[in-house]
Chain A
């Protein structure tokens, strides 16, 4: 699930189409006095959160480095195995 923070609709749409991405893509907007990314105190993009089945944070990644992809994969698998 991906929340796009700055409502750059045109470019976001193109990217999703070009790369054939199958996430649920949502556009951020103000709920009350804050956008969703502000509620999650995001300070850098992209930020990835991985939540377990119980809704608790397993880990998070600020930015995107060389190992981020593998780490995320590993953590998701761990989350799936741990909480059956």
Chain B
């Protein structure tokens, strides 16, 4: 008999998850169809009120910032934080508050949230706070927290924290954290206009991660690196630094900086599209060779197969 109840329980659990997903999809459609921010905010709030600790909580709470710009946001998120018992959700919601205060340039409130994280603090409590502090230009506290977060980036600390994970994954965490740590330092020095120190940190960053196949780094590394070079009067280097991001990650932020640097060098926007086209041909990456087997064990060499041909290379896995 017990067994049946267990099955029933699991079945209901399965259904409730499914129902939530459907509800979420319906919410997405409703948001798309609403014209005003107020209506969108109301829809999201209603969903969160009914499901305050689901897989969608963090994303929706972040999205809500776009629609709810007043103190109501603060009150609502704090209400959610009190409502949920899950420590993880509380943390996620606090990151949303930090993002909200970051956009409103409220230094004191960011630190207030930071101090409310449950102890012991973890790496992400620090890194998310520091990112926000840099944006609001509170460099004093930025460097104070950077000093404290150092220990989380050490190899033996990570080995202990992630004991159960494979060596490979621990190594990746090590590289990722140190990349981020030095990158935060570089950005903070840039904000303080200490350009030489910033440059040193950027050099350190590069030691931890290679650029991707496309020439882009994690996060917005290329963007800030180009900004530093521009401030140091090295416009031509700056433009090379931002190019891969402008070509392959077409967003306004990257393009805006690119446009500014271009105007500084050439005096106007004339010929900017032509310039991009030529540069694309120059910097577009070359294919990398490999030999792999097909499912019958037959070997294929990529270069032999694609020589003088237009080639579509797909990386996939069955879902």
Q: Which one, A3, A37, A55, contacts B287 given CB within 8 A? A: A55
In angstroms, Cα B302 to Cα A60, docked, is: 17
Chain A residues touching B, majority SS: mixed
In angstroms, Cα B316 to Cα A4, docked, is: 5
Q: Which one, A8, A24, A55, A72, contacts B294 given CB within 8 A? A: A24
B292 at the interface (CB under 8 A from A): yes
Residues from chain A with a CB closer than 8 A to the CB of B281 are 56
Q: Interface size (B, Cβ < 8 Å)?
A: 31
In angstroms, Cα B185 to Cα A33, docked, is: 31
Cβ proximity bits B280-316 to A, threshold 8 Å, 1 near / 0 not: 0100111110111111000010100110111111111
Contact across chains for A1 and B287 when beta carbons are under 8 A apart: no
Contact across chains for A51 and B310 when beta carbons are under 8 A apart: yes
Cβ proximity bits B84-105 to A, threshold 8 Å, 1 near / 0 not: 0000000000000000000000
Residues from chain B with a CB closer than 8 A to the CB of A16 are 295
| Minimum CB–CB distance for A63 against chain B, Å | 11
Contact across chains for A76 and B315 when beta carbons are under 8 A apart: no
With A1-B302, A3-B316 as known contacts, state yes or no: A53 contacts B293, CB within 8 Å. Answer: no
In angstroms, Cα B311 to Cα A80, docked, is: 10
Residues from chain A with a CB closer than 8 A to the CB of B284 are 56-58
Contact residues, A26-59 vs B (CB, 8 A): 26-29, 31, 36-37, 39-43, 45-53, 55-58
| Minimum CB–CB distance for B120 against chain A, Å | 31
Contact across chains for B295 and A12 when beta carbons are under 8 A apart: yes
Contact across chains for A26 and B311 when beta carbons are under 8 A apart: no
With A51-B287, A55-B287, A56-B285 as known contacts, state yes or no: A6 contacts B317, CB within 8 Å. Answer: yes
B267 at the interface (CB under 8 A from A): no
In angstroms, Cα B293 to Cα A36, docked, is: 12
Nearest opposing residue in chain A for B302, CB measure: A1
Q: Which one, B248, B295, B310, contacts A53 given CB within 8 A? A: B310
7 A-B pairs with the lowest CB-CB distances in the bound complex, closest first: A41-B212, A79-B310, A26-B292, A11-B318, A2-B314, A46-B316, A49-B313
Give me 8 other A-B pairs in contact (C-beta within 8 A), A23-B314, A51-B311 excluded. Answer: A4-B317, A6-B317, A16-B295, A26-B294, A29-B292, A39-B288, A48-B314, A50-B311
Chain B residues within CB distance 8 Å of chain A: 212-214, 248, 281, 284-288, 290-295, 300, 302, 305-306, 308-318
